[in-house]
Structure 1
Amino acid sequence: MEPEEPTAAQPGSPEEAPLATAPPETPSTHSRLADAGLATLLVAGYVSPLLALLIGFVSSGSTGLALSLALVGLVGAVWVVVWLYRNIRRRGRGPALGWVEVLVLVILPAWGLAYNHMAKESCQVLECEQNSALFRPLAEPEVFGLLAFHAVTALAYVASRRRPQALQPALAELSVHASLLSGMVIHALLAVHFGKWVLAGVAFPPAFLPCLSPVLTLILYGAELRHRLRLRGADARSVAQAQPLAVYREVPAQSFLPQRIHRPTLLRALAVSPALLGLHAVLQAVWLGQSSGALQVFTRTCDYTLSRLPVEVIPGSCHYLCTVAARGHSWLVRPLRMGRRGGVPIVVNRQLAVANAFEDLLHERWPRFGRLARRTYDLLARPICNHLRPAWVSDIVYLVMKPAEWAFYLALVLLDPRSPEARIDRMYR
């Protein structure tokens, strides 16, 4: 009896089904959000500072032109973000990620170092400036040792990106993993130390993007460390699969199995990274001549999370926009009387009294919002007020503040349960 010829397997039968098939790749929501964040970061890092400088230059001559340019620049920035996003989705993240790495590891630290040097070194501040003073977040010269440590970890990151295969000798591979871990520890400390300014980097990227540098570096280092540990895990599995097995049937490798990190390599890196941090501390101590030199870059500052120096508030004369406006020509600003603020005599006109009465109403009825409004004003407008000296500049400020004065008075009429005029009259008495 002749054997039967094998019949063709029916579609979907177990005989035809492959042993291992990779699931189809479809763009996930997480992937789309990551690409959108990548495009936004590139525009914020490279385009926004140039646009801010251009607007600042134009605003010195024409405020209206500066506002128009800011609006056009905002629309243009949104368009560039959309264009970059589509380009990344079409061509991949490779080129864009390279520009992000240069921005995060080189440009933002240099930019932040310049900000750090320009900030207020002394912890003494005038009473009216305590909400707007920008203190130095990292002590100098200790910060230069921290910058050198960042350069070492950034070099390890570049080596890991350029050489994804295991480095020889094994000590070089271990050094890369330990350096990435140490860099993550340092930048996590920086992010905690900056505190609220990290949120400022999210809200106002053209001005405060360097405050996000530790968080962005932490993400880059963490992603690269995870990727490299997975590669070492794949290498270890390949070696194990290459060993001869005494089995009846060898099953093909399952290509869609989730990748796992190589735990022995991670444990060795966790053991070595404290030694790298300790070596940095020793070098800082030798250089500065103080045993706590590595910590003083954080502690020898004021008004930050890890700061140890107190802020010393001293009395002094300060000026605000309406106070500046009241110093204009009398035929325009119409001064009413002399008042006192903080023991210092000031000129009081109706605009100044109305503005202060509105603030007094906010503190009385909505104290939290009043404090927030005061901090925001002190941060944004307060630093420029002392530079407005000539009388004709005060006249311009007075005219610009007129719509605000009318809005403040309308709010007093609608919201003040008592007489608005009585509240206005008692200001600065």
Structure 2
Amino acid sequence: MDILLAFILLILPAILIFGDLVYYLYCGRCYLNSILFAFFEIVYVIFLPLLFLSISSPVNDCCSDSAFFSPEHLLTIYIVIALCIVAYFYSSWRRVVAAGPLIELGVNCLLITGIVLNVFIAYQHSKSDDLSLVNIIIIVLYSKALIRNQRLLLCGNELVGEDFKPGFQKFAWKILNLNIFLKFPILIILCCPILSLLTVLLMLLGQKPDSAVRAFTDTYKHGFSQLDEQCLNAICPGGHFLCTIAAKGHTGLVKPIRLGRRAGNIIVCNRQLLVSNAFEDLLQQKFPFIHKPIRNIYNKVGGFIHCYYGAFNHKLVSDSIYILMKPLEWFFLTVLYLYDKNPENRIAKQYGEKGETMSQVEESINLQILSNSIGRYDDKI
């Protein structure tokens, strides 16, 4: 099922769009229906990027899904993406080259910027999920728009060099009419002053000169992230999620099995908690595009519980949550047995460090408890 969904949403459109680019290069026209191609453009250039940006975590967080772009430098990324989208649809949906040379030059530079930006975003995705395929589709679409601009200039050029006096317009016109092997390297170089001008304008809005770079690097757990060391030995607050709270109910009802470790904290694990976490583990592995938005929503629920933890820190409340979560536990267990060859192995390994056996987890936790007890005893002395 997950393979079929990925094929329909990502692989098939990628094949069709790439095939359309190759056909356009050789034949000078598209083989995809114009309505279907416009649908692909709207979905992959506008809808999916905006959806991703809207569900991405707004903060850097060591304990859950961290911000994809640095929150302090988001404005720079948003503005660059918006300008690239405008340049793309201006290029893709027009019939002739009617704007002045400077505008045409700027549009082409923004398309190249969009291609480079999506290469960086694809690498930023590399540690977390397979969404980089969306960026590859966008790169193909932007490349086709760039090639289409070149064809329009060659086939129906309404810009005549004699119409422009010596200056920026004349300079831009000469670049636009260069041989393709000279033109595109120069356009790549010209992206730098255009982005520099944009950076100066964004500095007036509180951004920094290196915001375009730091938007990628000032993050945790992504491709270009440079702050991962800050998450070493990070102590995450409580983990007050529904199943964790439910496991703190009366032992005769919730039936705790063992202790576990989550983000450096020792937690009480019962069957319901282990099954729920194993289900999420399966979802993340087999359905990452579904897991991410669900995880983001659940993190917000967890944040609410953490803010009002005092109201939830009662055994009767835990008992009630445990009972209410029972139908979900049965559903999770059914999915695990349907999709996993060894569901009990997946359940058993939850809340231990990677590669640890459960006996090692228990031994490590007992040593940690003993160490904490000795430390408290020494403090009293």
TM range (shorter): 0.5 to 0.7
Identity %: 19
> What does residue range 355-370 of structure 1 map to in structure 2 within 5 Å?
none
Aligned to 2:184: 266
Deviation at 1:353, TM superposition (A): 11
The answer as to 2:321 corresponding to 1:393 is: yes
Aligned to 1:287: 205
- 2:147 pairs with one of 207, 226, 240: 226
Contact 2:14 2:137 in 1 (8 A): no
Deviations 1:304-331 (A, max 9, x none): 2222324331155447887656444544
- Larger helix percent: 2
- 1:408 pairs with one of 340, 344, 349: 344
Deviation at 1:161, TM superposition (A): 2.2
Deviation at 1:94, TM superposition (A): 0.7
> Residues of 2 paired with 1:346 and 1:333: CA distance?
14
Q: For residues 397 and 191 of structure 1, do their structure 2 counterparts lie closer, same or farther at Cα, with a shift above 3 Å needed?
A: same
| Residue identity matched to 2:104 | E
The answer as to 2:37 corresponding to 1:106 is: no
Three-state SS of the structure 2 residue aligned to 1:98 is: helix
Deviation at 1:277, TM superposition (A): 2.4
Aligned to 1:191: 122
Q: For residues 40 and 165 of structure 1, do their structure 2 counterparts lie closer, same or farther at Cα, with a shift above 3 Å needed?
A: closer
Length-normalised TM-score, structure 1: 0.50
Q: For residues 223 and 326 of structure 1, do their structure 2 counterparts lie closer, same or farther at Cα, with a shift above 3 Å needed?
A: same
| Residue identity matched to 2:118 | H
> What does residue range 279-318 of structure 1 map to in structure 2 within 5 Å?
279-288=197-206, 290-310=208-228, 311-312=230-231, 313-314=234-235, 316-318=237-239
Deviations 1:371-398 (A, max 9, x none): x879859x96985795695313313546
| Residue identity matched to 1:161 | S
Deviations 1:197-222 (A, max 9, x none): 450576xxxxxxxxx3x443322111
The alignment covers a number of residue pairs equal to: 279
Contact 2:59 2:66 in 1 (8 A): yes
- 1:169 pairs with one of 84, 91, 100: 100
Length-normalised TM-score, structure 2: 0.55
- 1:121 pairs with one of 40, 59, 66: 59
> What does residue range 135-214 of structure 1 map to in structure 2 within 5 Å?
135-200=66-131, 212=134, 214=135
Aligned to 1:37: 13
Over the residues paired in the alignment, what is the CA RMSD in angstroms? 4.9
> Residues of 2 paired with 1:175 and 1:315: CA distance?
46
Deviations 1:38-87 (A, max 9, x none): 7999xxxxxxxxxxxxxxxxxxxxxxxxxxxxxxxxxxxxxxxxxxxxxx
Three-state SS of the structure 2 residue aligned to 1:137 is: coil
Deviations 1:323-376 (A, max 9, x none): 65644454444457x868589776576x48998xxx9xxxxxxxxxxxx87985
